[in-house]
Chains A and B, each alone.
Chain A
Amino acid sequence: MSAAGEHIVSPKLYVLIWIILLCFTGLTTAAAFGDFGIFNPIIALAIAFTKAILVVLFFMHVKYSPRMTALVIGCGLFFLSILMVLTTADYISRGWMF
């Protein structure tokens, strides 16, 4: 019965993703107590992005959605990166502010 052509993800996969997400949450909290110098925020953000990608792909079904959906999300992230990169470039190139 797939008249609407939907992809039904198995609950087992959802539970697996859930366990991975909880492990990453523990990991990011534990990593915050370690001293990795400049890599502390990089590790924290890398874990956050990994968790976000897992949620988007599996819980939000983007892995099973038309490519159009992924394209729209990609465009959104591109505009977000313009916001972040150009703002940062503006501030770090003004030495008198730091």
Chain B
Amino acid sequence: MDSHAATVEAGLHHRDPELHNQFDTLEQQKDTAHLGMWVFLITEIMFFGGLFGAYLVYRNLYYPAFVAGSNSISIFWGTLNTAVLICSSLTMAMAVHSAAIGARKLLVGFLSLTLLLGLIFLAVKGKEYYDKWTEHHVPGANFHFDDPERPGEAPVPADVASQTSIYFSLYFAMTGMHALHMIIGVGILLALIWKASRGSFPPHHYTMVENFGLYWHFVDIIWIFLFPLLYLISRTPAMH
């Protein structure tokens, strides 16, 4: 009886306080948390899938308008923002790595860098939206599409010009929904930086950092598809 009590005692002592009752090991607990996050991301994929599906249909129906609309947005800022997001994915991956090796200062540093890059992305996006606003390219009462000045090209016909509002509706819906995810990510990052600076994520107990990393990389992947689909539709004059 003494030995049994000792075994129970030992078991209780070995059980990590972070380990919830329904799990056998920390590894199982961690894998379950990651799986749950992935299931959430799958619902996000289906959500964005609806937007991509609408894009697919309308691009096929109004291809010339999509080409004209796409050519009116700045490829420079789009490429720059893609690079900014890819850099933020690296800093996020490094933040998770820092948490894994228990480097608290590095973790705070990399999370802050990720935050900074996220804010740069949003600032550039805001600049692009402002340009579209001043060009009257925002669908609505003041919508008006002028063919951007491109040498050696015929102007866009009036019907195609009015159809570009379909392209711009999808442009604002898709990039706007992506930007909303970025804004939510920035908010969570602020909370994570605060918690990390207080030492809330010791090695083996940083699932929140890892799952946020999954979210951040997911938002990056959405942009990886938005960039070519919205910015890079036929930039060659010969094709239309």
Interface centre among A37, A52, A60, A72 (most CB of B within 10 A): A60
B44, closest chain A residue (CB)? A76
Q: How far is the CB of A54 from chain B (nearest CB, A)?
A: 10
Category for how many chain A residues contact B:
35 or more
Known A55-B221, A75-B42, A98-B61; judge A84-B52 contact (CB<8 A).
yes
B180 within 8 A of A: no
Category for how many chain B residues contact A:
35 or more
- Interface contacts (Cβ under 8 Å), in number, total 146
> SS class of chain B's interface: helix, strand, loop or mixed?
helix
Known A29-B79, A44-B228; judge A79-B38 contact (CB<8 A).
no
Give every chain B residue within 8 A of A75 (Cβ-Cβ).
Answer: 42
Q: How far is the CB of B233 from chain A (nearest CB, A)?
A: 8
Interface residue ranges, B against A (CB under 8 Å)? 25-27, 30-31, 34-35, 38-39, 41-42, 45-46, 49-50, 52-53, 56-57, 60-61, 75, 79, 82-83, 86-87, 89-90, 92-94, 97, 100-101, 203-204, 210, 213-214, 217-218, 220-221, 224-225, 227-229, 231-236, 238-239
The 7 closest A-B pairs by CB, nearest first: A76-B42, A32-B232, A44-B228, A5-B27, A18-B90, A35-B236, A4-B26
